[in-house]
Amino acid sequence: MKIPKDIEISPLGVMGFGRVNSEKDQPGFTASHTNIKLDGTGDGPSGVHALMNAVGNFNFKLESCYEFDKVANTYGANGKLVDLLVNKLKEDYEVLRAKIKKNDDTKKKSETEACDSCLVEEINKYMLDINSKLGTHINNDGLREASMKGTFEEFLYHLMFPDCPSVRFLVKPRPKFKYFPETKQNINEDIIFEKVNEALSADNPLQIADLCVLRDKNEKCLSTHVLTITGYKESCNKQKKCKKLFKVLNSLGEDWQVAHNDGWVDASSIIKNINPKANEPGVLQPGILSWLE
């Protein structure tokens, strides 16, 4: 069933809950740019904390504010395109910020030497390009305001949700946040299969975190990913050789789902790509699996 966009929760909005910082302990904590990290270090939003903090708040941006699927279907399956897009947006942010600051500083010294109309034209050029690439609808004033934000993450968040209020969902009883393992333990496929099956049997989709999707020549993980598991089954061929399958919902767009057997993938390959910490090989970190019940 396709959920209408005016009641569907934005995954990018939820991403704003994903960072661990002092804000999460403050009353009225809400998702914001401060929780989004896009600096190339791999220290990005945590799916576990996003789910935990989102449930605690239950205040969300909607998909109708900014259609994630359009961007995911364009860029999601191609990491190089994503990198190019992010780098171009970072460059735009720095250039626009410098141009606006220069014009404002000039105006303080001499009204006649400043050129507001020139600046409007410059911003318009970037506005058209950004809206085309991101599928946003930011106007000249909105882009100017976004460009003067203190960080690139805040700039990006403002582009996606410029005037979009958060909607509080009234759900009683409130879902409970669960995660596995609760403490570190050795990676064991059978235990993970058992926990996934247990949650899915209760109609609770799970989130699986820290999956390595890119390694260097020395097998060091360069990039991790998060998937949602919505199904689990065994598939056997004519020779009665069987393997376990997870049905996953990926954030790379509908095209990815279609190209990968509607999301049914080899469960063992997913588990084998769980990325342990370098100093703790073979150890499953707390919260690799998380879900609501």
Distance CA 275, CA 263 (A): 21
Q: How many CB atoms lie within 10 A of CB 117?
A: 8
Phi first, then psi, for residue 242 (nearest 5°) are -115, 155
pLDDT reported for residue 164: 80
Distance CA 141, CA 139 (A): 6
pLDDT reported for residue 24: 39
Out of 42-51, 226-235, 243-252, 269-278, give the one with best mean pLDDT: 226-235
Cis peptide before 281 (omega within 30 of 0): no
Burial of 271 (0-12, 13-18, 19+ CB in 10 A): buried
Q: In terms of pLDDT, which residue wins out, 184 or 202?
A: 202
For 129-187, write each residue's pLDDT tens digit: 988 888 888 899 999 998 998 888 788 888 888 878 777 776 677 788 888 888 888 87
Q: Give the tokens for residue 82.
A: 């994503």
Q: In terms of pLDDT, which residue wins out, 248 or 213?
A: 248
Q: In terms of pLDDT, which residue wins out, 37 or 280?
A: 280
Confidence band for 1, pLDDT divided at 50, 70 and 90: low
Packing angle, helices 140-147 and 79-109, rounded to 10: 90
pLDDT reported for residue 72: 74
CA distances from 259 to 77, 105, 137, 212, 224 (A): 11, 53, 30, 20, 21
Out of 25-39, 231-245, 251-265, give the one with best mean pLDDT: 231-245
pLDDT of 78 > 70? The answer is: no
Output the CATH code of domain 177-292: 3.90.70
Confidence band for 230, pLDDT divided at 50, 70 and 90: very high
Cis peptide before 162 (omega within 30 of 0): no
For 22-39, write each residue's pLDDT tens digit: 443 443 334 444 445 443
SS3 call for 48: helix
